[in-house]
Amino acid sequence: MADKKTSFLFLRYCIFLLVFLLGSQIMSQAAVFAQSAGPSAGPSAGPPSSGPSAGPSAGPSSGPPSAGPSAGPSAGPSAGPPAGSSSVETPVPSAPSVSNVGSPNTAAVVENALANGATPEEAAQAAVDYAISIGYPDASYATNADGSITVNFSQDAPCNNSVTIREPSCTENCDQDKDKDKDKDKDKDKPKEPQPQPIPPSVGPSAGPSAGPSAGPPITEPSAGPSAGPSAGPASTPSPSAGPSAGPSSDEPSDGPGGPGLESQNSPPQATNLSSNANSADYCSSVLPPIIVSWQFTDPGDTQSAYQVQVDNNSNFSSPEKDSGKVSSSSAQYAPPQLSYNTTYYWRVRVWDSQSALSQWAQGSAFATKKHQYPVPDFTWKPQNPGIGEKVDFTDASHTYGGSNESSWSWTFQFGTPESSTKQNPNDIQFSWPGGRTVTHGVTDSDGFSCQIQENVTVFLSFPGYQEISPF
C-alpha cells in the first residue's frame, strides 16, 4: 500500500514538472515574439525628431498604444537596389560619317546636328536650311540606294557642292549587340517590383508638427515631435508642451496621404555656351554671309524639344530682322537666312525641354559680317585637251564684288613646267605626265579677301611623228 502511494506521488511530480517546463517554453516564445514585433506595426510616415517636442500633439490617435518607446525611424524595406547588383553597359554605336565636296560649312552643320542627337534626316534638313540661307534656294537632300543621304546645293553652285551622310557599317559585334537588345526587350516585358522610398532620420529637434499621418501606433513615451495630423492608432500620451507650434519643419520632405515621398518638380532649362562662327566662316563657298549661331542645352536629365532664335541689328530686339519662331528640334544651332554684308548683328535664343518648360532669353555676343562678298576665282585654258609637252595658255576669269578689284593671283600646276606662277594669265605651261592634272588658281581683291578654285586638265599621251621613206 505504501509503494502505491509513493508511485502516485512520483507520477504527480512528473506531471507538474512537465507542465512547468512547457509553460516556461511558451512564455519564452511569447516574449521573443513581442520583442521582435517592435513598437511600430508599419513604416512611419516620417522619421522621428531627435530633439524635444516644440509643441503639443495636434490630433487624436485611434489605435492601441505601442508596447515600448520608439528608438528611431521605422525599419521598413530599403528603397535602394539589392546588394551585389551590377549594371550592364550598352554598346555605343559609332556616329554616321560625313563627307563633303567643296562645302566644309555645310558639313560642319551636319556634324554639329548629329553631335546634338539629331537623326541623319534631321541633320540633312538642317544642311538644306543652311544652304537656302546662304543663297541656294534649290538645295535639297535625297536618300541613295545604299541608304546614305546626299545634300545637293544646285547646278549653279561652285564645284558642285554636296554633303553625304552614311550610317556606320555593322561590325563583328553586331550579332552580340542584337542578342543584347533582344534580352533587353524581354526584361522590359517583365513586371517591375515596387521599390519603397527610404526614410531619412531627422537631424535636429522638430520645429513644428509632422507633415503627414503616422502609419503605425503612437508611442507611450514622450514624443520626439508633435504630430500634425491624425495618427492611425489611439491617443498617445501628450508630450510636455514648450509652447505653441513654430510651424512645419523645414528639415524633412513633405509627405502626402499616400505615404512618404518627394513631389517631382521640373526646373526650367537654360541655353548656355552661346557662340557664332563669325570669325571662321568660309565666305568663299557662299553668296551671302554664312553665319551659324550655336548654344548648349542645359537641363540635367532632360532634352531639348524646341528652340527660338532672334537676330537684330538693334541690341534691344525691338523689331527682330530674323526670327525663327518656335522650331521643334533638338538641334542646338541656327543659320540666320539672308543676312546683309557690312552689318553688326545681335542675337538671342531660348529653349524648351521635353516637358514644354521654357527658358529665359539668353543673349550671345554680337557679330559683324564682312564688308562685301568674297571674290569668285575662275579660269579657262587652251588647248582643252593638251598632249604631253604641248604648251598650254591659261586665262583668268575671276569676279570681284563691292567695288573691289583683283590685286594678285596665284597658280600651281601639277606635273607642270613651270610648277607655279603669279601672273594673271600664265602662258606656255607644259605637262610632263598624262592624266588628270590638278590646276589651282587663287585670287585676292583690293580689300584683301582671297579665294581659290581647283580644276582638272586632262593631258593625253602624244604619239611620235612619222615620215614615209622610199625603199629605193
pLDDT over 70 percentage in the chain:
59
Signed CA dihedral, 109, 115, 116, 120: sign only: positive
pLDDT at 468 over 60: yes
pLDDT at residue 228 in the model? 36
Q: How far apart are CA 304 and CA 327, in angstroms?
A: 11
pLDDT at residue 219 in the model? 42
CATH for the stretch 379-459: 2.60.40.10
Mean pLDDT of 370-389: 94
56 or 466, which is more confident? 466
pLDDT over 90 percentage in the chain:
40
pLDDT at residue 169 in the model? 53
Angle at 411 between CA 408 and CA 414, to 5 degrees: 170
pTM of the model: 0.45
Q: How far apart are CA 217 and CA 235, in angstroms?
A: 9
75 or 433, which is more confident? 433
Range with top average pLDDT, 196-205, 247-256, 259-268: 259-268
Q: Which of 461, 450, 464, 453 is nearest to 394 (CA)?
A: 453
pLDDT at residue 1 in the model? 54
Residue 49 burial (CB < 10 Å; 0-12/13-18/19+)?
buried
pLDDT at residue 357 in the model? 95
CATH says 270-368 is which class?
mainly beta
C-alpha cell of residue 427: 602662258
Work out the mean pLDDT of the chain and round it to a whole number: 72
pLDDT at 275 over 70: yes
Give tens-digit pLDDT for 404-444: 999 999 999 999 999 999 999 999 999 998 999 999 999 99
Ranking 113-122, 218-227, 328-337 by mean pLDDT, the lowest is 218-227
pLDDT at 171 over 70: no
Helix residue ranges, H only, 38-153: 104-115, 120-133
Give tens-digit pLDDT for 206-258: 334 343 444 344 444 444 344 333 443 444 444 433 333 334 344 444 444 34
Where are any strands of DSSP class E within 177-326? 270-276, 293-298, 304-312, 322-323
Signed CA dihedral, 413, 414, 419, 420: sign only: positive
Ranking 44-48, 98-102, 378-382 by mean pLDDT, the lowest is 44-48
Question: Cell 519564452, residue?
Answer: 28
Mean pLDDT of 11-17: 77
Mean pLDDT of 151-167: 64
* Cβ atoms 78, 103 nearer than 8 A: no
Q: Which residues contact 238 (CB under 8 A, 6 or more apart)?
A: 56, 57, 223
Range with top average pLDDT, 39-48, 178-187, 361-370, 453-462: 361-370
C-alpha cell of residue 405: 578689284
CB atoms within 10 A of CB 340: 11
